[in-house]
Chain A
Amino acid sequence: DDKLLTEPLSHPDFFSVKELFTLKDLFDARVHLGHKKGCRHRFMEPYIFGCRLDHDIIDLDQTMQHLQLALNFTAHVAYRGGIILFVSRRRQFCHLVESTARACGEYAHTRYWQGGLLTNARIQFGPGVRLPNLLVFLSTLNNVFEPHVAIRDAAKMNIPTVGVVDTNCNPCLITYPIPGNDDSPAAVELYCKLFRMTIIRAKDKRRQSEAVEELR
């Protein structure tokens, strides 16, 4: 059992996450498109490649690195049987995110976030609740264009976060930010597809390793 858990950590890319996407895929899904210069957040400046006619362009090389790290991390969490919670407050993609979560066998929360969900979980749900081990944000802002409360709550409860940060978002408290577009349907569908594939791959590998262990 110990060997099962420590073996993936020795490889840099145990789940071969790099094969899932290429730069061209990201470009075709319009991930590099940001908001206008006026909407730019100060802390997103390192991730921005440039600005053309007031439109910000996100640096896809950095996005590739960040995305690889984030997907690798989610795969490890899923391999160890962790609870992953998909969060997004975009009404357009609410249904898509929920169906992705259902397909992976993980959980989703694309509705109004009640205040004490993470911090007051004992009282809201019951004494023996298990909190999520990873939060994945498909959009870090809520409907009023402010940072989602869950980022701060997860930081308070020591839960790591993976989040797609757009040019108007604050990447501060997110452990694995992914600079990229969160408004186009094509981009969000790409992210959902990538997360779904990584989680399913990680779970399959876990089942295979357990079967191999049992055979010995």
Chain B
Amino acid sequence: TLRLICTTTAVQRKNVGASGPEKYTEAFIKKQIEEFNLGKRHLANMMGEDPETFTQEDIDRAIAYLFPSGLFDKQARPVMKHPTEIFPEQRKIQWGEDGRPFHFLFYTGKQSYYSLMHETYEKLLNVQKHQDQLIAQDLPLQKEKRNLAGSRWLTKIELEEMLLEKVSDDDYSRFIKLLQKLVALPCADIEEKYIQKFSKEVPMQLQKVVIEPLQHDKRGVAFSTGEGKRKTARATAVVYDSGTGKITVNGIDILHYFPVLQDREQLLFPFQFLGRIGKHDMVCTVSGGGRSAQAGAIRLASAKALRSFVTEKEVEFMRQAGLLTVDPRVKERKKPGQEGPRRKFTWKKR
């Protein structure tokens, strides 16, 4: 099994309800609930408030007032909550007075997991039977495609929480495969409700970037603006539709502002890619960064501005060419004990 190294605390959280045989008996939890209620009334009296209408928020405030704590971790501070929230739900004793277990799969060891597999298999058989009936009556099989892109199956930890017992990796993968098999059948719509218990909606991050429409200035010429950045340079570009391929940077012509050929090539790249070299006029402002960074920033700004003049397909081509992506490379910091970001000090044998 792979050991997770860099994960969030949510993934590494231990499922206390699944670990080992029960440590809290029912009588113990009942006693804790009685003590909690009594304590709540005492606290209300202490604070001078009405014991009947003392809510959980009032309790929290009272405890924070009576036991001020300077600890940083909120979960380490004194807390007074209902016992069902503090003692996690654990499995109580599984058999009755005469010794007979309650669940029919008790002797397997993993009763909830196997009963879940049993139920899912039953649903599968139901769907197959229904399918056979439809075929026998020569009716067409429904093929409404379930939207798989927007949903995901439960994770292993969520399943463990649902079943209150440990689930191994193999068991989990088996269960998911069975669910996928069930969903793959044509008439799986019958068991839609059952399947929804095990699937979760994934919030789709559809970042559909809105391409701004062309604006028109006083003379009636269409233009559009774009912003770009590279390292520390920030640039804004205004691309006009008229003609001659004149490009002005901070009020200076590019030949004077960028003496080096490489920078000028960078500026012209978006226009060359779209084949519109002589057709557009550009006025840009740029600040910060160095020579190359400013050139990159203006390139990104002009590409963003050109999106308004061009079809969607060409926008996709530009995106795939990397013209619309912000370059994330920045100067890496120097680390202590080293001479630079990567260079170590000279190693001397003695």
Contacts and interface: CB of A to CB of B under 8 A. Distances in A.
A138 B125 CA distance: 21
A117 B118 CA distance: 20
A126 B22 CA distance: 9
A126 to B, nearest CB: 5
A98 to B, nearest CB: 5
B227 to A, nearest CB: 61
Contacts of A111: 108, 110, 114
Determine which residue in B95, B106, B107 has the highest number of CB atoms from chain A within 10 A of its CB, and name it: B107
A98 B118 contact: yes
Interface string A99-136: 10110011111010010010000001110111010000
Nearest to A81: B98
6 contacts: A81-B100, A95-B118, A95-B122, A111-B114, A117-B109, A125-B21
Contacts, number: 50
A126 B93 contact: yes
B107 A117 contact: yes
A125 B94 contact: yes
Which 9 residue pairs across A and B have the least CB separation, nearest first? Answer: A130-B99, A102-B104, A109-B108, A126-B21, A109-B107, A111-B108, A107-B104, A95-B121, A114-B109
A122 to B, nearest CB: 11
Interface residues of A, number: 23
Contacts of A126: 21, 93-94
Query: Which of the four size classes fits the interface of chain B?
Result: 20 to 34
Contacts of B121: 95
Determine which residue in B93, B100, B108, B110 has the highest number of CB atoms from chain A within 10 A of its CB, and name it: B108
B101 interface: yes
A77 interface: no
B141 interface: no
Interface of B: 21, 93-95, 98-101, 104-110, 114, 118, 121-122, 125
Contacts of A117: 107, 109
A195 to B, nearest CB: 14
User: Chain A at the B interface: mostly helix, strand, loop or mixed?
Assistant: loop
B104 A108 contact: yes
A141 interface: no
A85 interface: yes
B100 A130 contact: yes
A151 to B, nearest CB: 15
Nearest to B95: A130
A107 B21 contact: no
Contacts of A102: 104
Contacts of B93: 126, 128
B118 A107 contact: no
A95 B125 CA distance: 10
A98 B107 contact: no
A167 B33 CA distance: 61
Contacts of A130: 95, 99-101
A206 to B, nearest CB: 13
Contacts of B107: 85, 107, 109, 117, 132
